[in-house]
Structure 1
């Protein structure tokens, strides 16, 4: 049984990238859907589709690769906050990933967003993961 569904989500995407898969299928949840939307909006994935045919539903993610070099758009996915050790950040000390080249995905009171959006909204929250 998965005790950390977000870590499972990140691991499935990470494994699909290492195996050079074009599409990865992940069991759906609301937080995973929101993380997927953030990754798409920031250009880390090519496209996504939510299939709600089953009881739980699935998320199909088309991974993005550079057409010339075949390198993936996502080089690293790192889980920060875990069920055993939650990590929160106040608006004054939101993390910067790779000097602003990567993103930190946060779960805030105004929804799931990047650290830049959280700073603009003037909210802090739980730091879910780093993507770069």
Structure 2
């Protein structure tokens, strides 16, 4: 997910640290140059352990009429909903980012 957020321009950088047994991810958040507001307005979790949400390739969600990103876990890996639609593959909707 961090690679997708980086590629879409929502975060500045990320780094995986193996200093503990579990490991950590350090993420540098991105802010608007002029307003100093964070680029990520909301990160909404969609699929939960108690209620999974799956979609087919034809019903991929559009977030804020195309301004946001839906992150989907597919059999081809974790990708955005646009990429999943292009590859004609469905999967579990993890979250919306806008």
How many Å separate the matches in 1 of 2:35 and 2:58? 39
What residue is the counterpart of 2:55 in the other structure? 89
Number of positions where the alignment pairs a residue of Structure 1 with one of Structure 2: 98
TM-score of the superposed pair, with normalisation by structure 2: 0.98
Structural RMSD (CA): 0.6
1:66 aligns with 2:39: no
SS in 1 for 2:36: coil
Q: Give 1:54 shift.
A: 1.3
**Consecutive aligned runs of 4 or more in structure 1 exceeding 2 Å deviation:** none
What residue is the counterpart of 1:117 in the other structure? 83
How many Å separate the matches in 2 of 1:91 and 1:119? 5
Q: Give 1:93 shift.
A: 0.4
Q: Structure 1 regions of 5+ residues with no counterpart? A: 1-34
SS in 2 for 1:47: strand
The structure carrying a bigger strand percent of its residues is 2
What residue is the counterpart of 1:57 in the other structure? 23
1:79 aligns with 2:45: yes
How many Å separate the matches in 2 of 1:68 and 1:84? 41
Q: Structure 2 regions of 5+ residues with no counterpart? A: none
TM-score of the superposed pair, with normalisation by structure 1: 0.73
